[in-house]
Amino acid sequence: MSTGFTSTVDTPIGPFTAVVATDGAVLASGWTASTDDLLPQVATALRPSTLTPRRDLGAVTRAVRDYHAGALDAIADVPVRQRSGAFVEHAWTALRAVPAGKPVSYADYALLAGRPSAVRAAAAACARNAATLFVPCHRVIRSGGAIGNFRWGVDVKRWLLGHEDRG
């Protein structure tokens, strides 16, 4: 039986909830007040069987607050734990290197992930990302600059991109 901790923080674009492992690594996160929206995205091997609510998750809560207040690099050093196939895990790591305010196209993201012809696989990696914000899938947009889809809604993605562009 594994235990995870969860906390929800108010942000300018709605409640943000994180689920973390006992060592503080983010397992799932997003703009929702419900862990039911997050847990299905966590790999079965990592999914906690018990969740304990906490008022504050330490470095994770600080990073969420600081990021939304304008410290865009606050999320960079927060540990994340996700599991999938080798390409998807590598793609998530590559995504963490995309700087705030410098969104990339899905084609550029596939190139960063080491497989330029794997645009659909790169898009699928974004869609399967459980640790939203800490693995900044919102920084991937369509060729030509269109926003594209986002699990938490196009308005949230637009806000995040604008927030980072101003930062």
How high is the pLDDT of residue 139?
A: 97
The fraction of the chain above a pLDDT of 70, given in percent, is 99
Q: Which residues are CB-neighbours of 45 under 8 A, at least 6 positions away?
A: 83
Q: Are 133 and 29 in contact (CB under 8 A)?
A: yes
pLDDT, tens digit, for every residue of 5-28?
999 999 999 999 999 999 999 999
How high is the pLDDT of residue 15?
A: 98
pLDDT, tens digit, for every residue of 61-75?
999 999 999 999 999
Report the C-alpha gap between 145 and 157 in whole angstroms.
13
How high is the pLDDT of residue 1?
A: 57
Q: Which residues are CB-neighbours of 93 under 8 A, at least 6 positions away?
A: none
pLDDT, tens digit, for every residue of 115-125?
999 999 999 99
Average pLDDT over residues 75-99: 96
126 among known catalytic residues: no
Average pLDDT over residues 43-68: 97
Report the C-alpha gap between 18 and 61 in whole angstroms.
8
How high is the pLDDT of residue 166?
A: 86
Nearest Cα neighbor of 64 from 125, 2, 136, 123 is: 136
Q: Write down the catalytic residue from 27, 72, 112, 137.
A: 137
How high is the pLDDT of residue 98?
A: 97
- Tokens at 41, concatenated: 């995205």
Q: Are 100 and 70 in contact (CB under 8 A)?
A: no
Report the C-alpha gap between 32 and 37 in whole angstroms.
7
